[in-house]
Structure 1
Amino acid sequence: MYLHGTSKINDKGHLEIGGKDVTELAAEFGTPLYIVDETLVRQRAREYVEAFKASGLKFQVAYASKAFCVMAMCALAEEENMSLDVVSDGELHTALKAGFPVERIHFHGNNKTPDEINMALDANIGCFVVDNFVELHLLNALAADKGKKVKILLRITPGVEAHTHDYISTGQQDSKFGFDLGNGSAYRAIVEGLKLDNVEILGVHSHIGSQIFEVEGFRMAVDKVAGFAVQIKEELGYTFQVINLGGGFGIRYTNEDKPLPVAEYVKAITDAIITNFTNAGYSLPEIWVEPGRSIVGDAGTTLYTVGTSKDIPGVRKYIAVDGGMTDNPRPALYESKYDAILANRANEPLEETVSVAGKCCESGDMLIWDLELPKVEKDDLLAVFCTGAYNYAMASNYNRIRRPAVVFVKDGQADLVVKRESFQDIVGNDVIPARLQKAAVGK
């Protein structure tokens, strides 16, 4: 059993997170319940900040809010001196409502609408990450309408792709994101951008993958981005102030995963930056990164109540919980793997192998296959680990199931940061046309 952060098994044999017994959290807030270990989130954020400070480079660590975007998380990111990466008007609105400093907000996305761009311009955010030629010219025109000049990074695809232990250096032109380095569109984007009056190019952005457990892919990306920066300086006389190397830093979901410490990722990146740019006689740029999963992923635990079960002799035993693909679609979408324990009987010996099913009307609504647990009983509490990233963010109301509550736990205190949805929330945006209202009378 591997426990993250402040998680431990207390003297009652119950899982405890942030000094709170999860059986008490279930009684107070109900299940399913997302539990976030605030201490671990802050620890991860500080690991990035401290590692970059050690490099001596100027830097920004921008939390990628797509991983988990609620107002409390934005407030926490501000307290930890992070910047914020948003990718939609909803994420931007959340950040603004939380009072996040606008100068530290970066707006991503491959298809920002005019309304989203205008909203960000009106808020005076710090930087747009421009993804394509259409956006480049649209942003310039909308900024001109408002009499503003905005700072931008151009997102480039450097020809490096990395996931988990694998990395490759090929064309990688088949991506919906960014200006391709290999076919010359990145160069043309710099040329066109420098001609525009209402944008200021700070530098470039690249992102090479997700759940990366090695550093070689990052080194390769730095090599290519640095080479491009030198080419731009030599041929166009323009010096990049900022290099953004994105995110993708891996976390441990199961025993199969072997992520590196944050400091190792950062040291590999900063050493490669210093070596490449110093050798080229190029002034050292400011470095930005965008961790999301590695900030919140292993700090999250989802707590469920076990309901029904189905034992097929010689085949499999299923247990069903009161959540599923509505609060964690990742197993159905990506075949993602998770670890879990019985949170109310954590010290008991393992006696059976079960597969954990959700309650949705889908045969594919499975959370975990072949999990070893003590003899499972109805009303047991199942704690699924490492659900802090992309779980609440991707949650849905399929089958009109209400999305769970979210609590932050720290030093024995539990704070509700997202309320459980109500039945009124479910129908709140529904409208019955007048021609159907007669049929709905009295219902």
Structure 2
Amino acid sequence: MNMKRKAIIVCTSVLALSTILAACGNEPAKTAQAGGEKAQPPAQKVKLSIWHNFSGDDLRAKAVRAQIEKFKTAHPEVELDAQAIPPDGYRQRLKTVAAANEMPDVFYTNAGTSIQEFYDGGLIQPISQLLDKNPDWKKNFTPGAFDPLSFDNKVYATPLSGSATSLFFYNKSLFDKYNVKVPTTWDELTTAIKTFKDNKVTPISLGNKAAWLAQSSILSSLADRVTGTEWFLKAAKQDGAKFTDPEFVQALTNMKSLADAGAFQQGFNSLDNTQMEQYFIQGKAAMMIDGAWALTNMAASGTKEQLDQVKVTVLPSIPGGKGDPNSISGGPGGGLALSKKATGKQLDAALELIYTVSGPEGISAIAHSNSIVNYKIDLDQSKVTPLFFEAFNLYKSVKLTPVYDAYLTSAGTEAINNGLQELLIGGKPEDVAKKLQDAQVKALGK
């Protein structure tokens, strides 16, 4: 073979090899070519972080985490750092990183005071553009759903679920067994507590270890029955009412009377929310005052037989009270907020993540996890428990009144939470009222 032919064969082989190599890659390698173009480094992944408190085994938590996983799978170009933090310590974790201005890119926040503090601190940015881009999604939220999540006519989060913090659950089997009337008045509640106590059944299950439960689920609704909503809103602003006023002291006295009557199980200040719900669903207590989250928790842990025994209504009325007895403390729930620092591709990814979790598909998944939502939805009754369906219809038929910690300052919330723990083991209503009043005045600078 002459040298010229050998050279042609070698060149042809090299060309064939380079063609094969290029075809095997996802992108043709831009090595030294005729034009001398340099190799391009692979595109860097967009880094995105999300914090939330949907960490448990309840169906709602699983539904939210599943939507986050869907986003992760659909967006391989995003390096997602998702942290599920237990609810009891979540708010404090957020406050700690907020103080250092190191917020996650996307994070769950409660409505009211919580998101207000992030807004006042200049830590979040609006997501109004996401709602405007998806008008059908926007119009299906119930009236007022955006109100506690909006500032200066801009929406900063959309509610993932509705907040109903004071549902009155009762075990129908126990009420039937001991011939007890489901209480609609305070006197009837007192009678029910005595009857169950006499028969060695815990009247009301309570788990107040994290301190917020007694405030959010019992006092918020009980106190509104006594004082009325207008008084509380004035007291929260320290504008025409004080927490040392006689009506609030009376509400605390009513609260204390439950503990004095032996309504709760032993060690209630050492039991958490989950233990409280387990105690009730297992038939060890006749009643439980808890939030809508209990619906998804009990649906995940209770048997059909256990769930079929449970019914739901509103707290009993209180004689001489100024509030509407056909009410539940609650309103629009919290949602995913967006850090002020997110820009460019990170901002685009963050908005897409928020829509994946909070959009129509995500909201439907949350609703069908036995969770109340502030969204117009066709609920498939076969996919939820009868208890949830009953509670959802109740939620839509009652007036919603303020949850205390959605309107109090952080210091005020801490004061009443700790104060209720003391009150229920023998503290004085007047002392608890003064601690709340002093904390709220100081925090508001009045």
TM-score normalized by the length of structure 2: 0.21
Instruction: Determine which structure has more spread, i.e. the larger CA radius of gyration.
Output: 2
TM-score normalized by the length of structure 1: 0.21
